[in-house]
Amino acid sequence: MKRELLLIALVLLVLAGYGQDCTNLTSPIPGDENVLVESDISWEPVDGVNGYLISIGETPGGTEWADRISVGNATTYSPPVGLPENRTLYITITLFFFNRPDIDCALGSFSTEEVLVAPGCATINTPMDNAIDVNQEAIISWEYVPKATGYSINIGTTQGGGEIVPTQDVGNVTSFDPPGNLPLEEEIFVQIIPRNENGPAPVICPTFSFMTGEMVELPGCSRLITPFNGETNVPLTPDLSWEEVPDAIGYRLFIGTSPFENNVVSGAVYSTNQITVIDFEANSTIYVTIVPFNAGGDAIGCLQESFSTIQGCGPFFDGNTNELVQDLRPELEFPNSFRVCSNDLPTVLSTDAVADQFRWVRLSPNDGSELELLSNSDQVTLTQEGRYRLEAINFSDPDGANTACPTQQDFVLEIVAPPTINSIDSQTGNESVQLTVNASGSGDYEYALNNVDGPYQDSNVFNNVPSGNNMVYVRDKDLGCVVSANSLQYALSEAFPNFFTPNGDGVHDFWQFSPPPEIGEIAIETIYLFDRMGNFIIQLNPDDRGWDGNLNGTPLPSSDYWYKAIFEDQDQIQGHFTLKR
């Protein structure tokens, strides 16, 4: 008891030192009784673990029935010949890490059933039943039979004859290598008889058969070149190459994330000794078996090799801090749409995300494919509406030479028209003016007077406005874009004629400033006129009769001309008019 308590204390001390939680059995549950001997053993996954080793024994930490067997990243183990009957079994799962010490987790115990029935019959695996051209050096294998604790095999050239191997006890295994070579071009009959302490299978088990082929020497096995066996930090999309084998016409490739499961590539055939694999799982052990073959069959006894991939984006344990890194991908909070007024272009968007690198990309409006990289910084300048993508990227090493861990957000930029000031109506009182701003557009607008920063009001009417020149501002409440106008520009639109006809008929013979009386006194100091090329023509006093269309006594041609009116406070307004002859 003292020894067991000391062991538990040491385990807890190790776990506390690394801040790592152990896993828990999920099937069977600790304390379960009468567990079927053909049961799988399963446990909860642990974040950041590179793999698992399982040990099964009849004492805490014991290894009589499984001694630190690697299962890769799998969280289920199927004992190849089942569990022993009527035993209390203790399970230890070892958390395997590339960059720190392993952690042993004692997960408790359960009791197996007492088997009271004989097992059923077996099914042959290799060679397959009715196979042809089987190599004379073939090894015979079969499926585990629940509750079996041993097998006998009979091999002959006649059904049940036993000419090659008379009925023989081969033990509690699931394969048998016949002594010597099998006869060539012959039908071979195989019978497998499972048994346990209750006796052999209670029925006559089936006989399987296959045909051997001609004499052909099998190729030898191959080994990995890149990545080499045991290599670590292998990229997720590596080139796999292996030794070329003379006399082989091809290679069968088996790849998995567990020694017992070919869940990546399962027996694919390649004629060359190099392939590129796309997207291995990060932070994993990859198991590879290469089986050369020729006309005589597959190479026999080829060993499984393994390598480990880069840590990827997480979760994984940082070997320097012993802390669990859940995810290297940046946190990115960014809207999926923006609306910008056309008069605010170009617009600058930025992100406050923390990342090693950024990518701002313009996307196709049709299929969302990337069209153009716009920026690699934390901000971008946009000039047109459309679909875009922001990608924030961290790298799994400081130099950015390893796995990219991106977080992305697609968004849409919509460009809308700003408000339009159609007119500014004014009504003059004794000492002040009332201005009414008439704006149009699709937005919800607010209004300010003489200061672009406000204050803004919902009403478009301003009372008690001082007479003279005033600036009005209209702002979109949602987008914040602002347009402005000079109140006198609108109030005086009728004071500056759009045209005149200096033909001496007494009508519109002069272009002259003539403000309507309702706008009150206008403090214009002087008016300058120019031709359409910007050449100065004449300076007018607001009280003058106006311009008669001549320059130094010479009539100027019909055309557009410009005016600039200067106020006493040096504000100015300008516009154009037409001279017609």
What confidence score (pLDDT) does residue 11 get? 37
The domain tally of the chain equals 6
Statement to judge: residues 502 and 554 lie in one domain:
yes
* C-alpha of 390 from chain center: 12
Statement to judge: residues 242 and 257 lie in one domain:
yes
What is the model's pTM?
0.58
Q: Is 529 inside a domain boundary?
A: yes
* C-alpha of 89 from chain center: 43
Statement to judge: residues 11 and 50 lie in one domain:
yes
Burial class (CB in 10 A: 0-12, 13-18, 19+), 473: buried
What confidence score (pLDDT) does residue 306 get? 93
Give the range of the structural domain holding residue 144, as residue numbers without chain letter: 124-211
Statement to judge: residues 469 and 513 lie in one domain:
no
User: Which bin fits 333, alpha (ψ -120 to 50), beta or left (φ > 0)?
Assistant: beta
What confidence score (pLDDT) does residue 16 get? 37
CATH classification at residue 471: 2.60.40
Decide which of 490, 521, 546 is a domain's last residue.
490
CA distance 48 to 95: 10
DSSP lists the bridge partners of residue 379 as 350
Q: Is 119 inside a domain boundary?
A: no
Statement to judge: residues 484 and 499 lie in one domain:
no
Statement to judge: residues 105 and 8 lie in one domain:
yes
Question: Would you give per-residue pLDDT tens digits along the chain (581 residues)?
Answer: 333 333 333 333 333 334 457 999 999 999 999 999 999 999 999 988 888 999 999 999 999 999 999 898 899 999 999 999 999 999 999 998 876 788 999 999 999 999 999 999 999 999 999 999 998 989 999 999 999 999 999 999 999 999 999 999 999 999 999 998 999 999 999 999 999 999 999 999 999 999 999 888 889 999 999 999 999 888 888 899 999 999 999 999 999 988 888 989 999 999 999 998 878 888 788 999 999 999 888 998 899 999 988 877 877 666 566 566 667 889 999 999 998 988 888 999 999 999 999 999 999 999 889 999 999 999 999 999 999 999 999 987 654 456 788 999 999 999 988 999 988 887 776 667 888 999 998 889 999 999 999 999 999 999 988 877 789 999 999 888 899 887 776 767 678 889 999 998 889 999 998 887 655 567 788 999 999 999 999 999 988 889 999 999 899 999 999 999 988 777 788 889 999 98
| Assigned token pair, 414 | 């919509």
Q: Is 372 inside a domain boundary?
A: yes
| Assigned token pair, 361 | 């990309």
Statement to judge: residues 515 and 463 lie in one domain:
no
What confidence score (pLDDT) does residue 321 get? 63
Helix locations, 392-528, DSSP H: 487-491
Q: Is 10 inside a domain boundary?
A: yes
CATH classification at residue 284: 2.60.40.10
CA distance 52 to 326: 19
Decide which of 377, 397, 416 is a domain's last residue.
416
Q: Is 118 inside a domain boundary?
A: no
Statement to judge: residues 240 and 205 lie in one domain:
no
Statement to judge: residues 523 and 464 lie in one domain:
no
Statement to judge: residues 496 and 486 lie in one domain:
no
Q: Which residues of 325-345 are buried (b: 16+ CB within 10 A; e: fewer)?
A: beebbbebebeeebebbeebe
Q: Is 330 inside a domain boundary?
A: no
Decide which of 211, 239, 254 is a domain's last residue.
211
CA distance 558 to 577: 11
Burial class (CB in 10 A: 0-12, 13-18, 19+), 493: middle
Q: Is 216 inside a domain boundary?
A: no
Please calculate the CA angle 281-315-25 and round it to the nearest 5 degrees: 90
Q: Is 463 inside a domain boundary?
A: yes
Statement to judge: residues 16 and 94 lie in one domain:
yes
Statement to judge: residues 44 and 55 lie in one domain:
yes
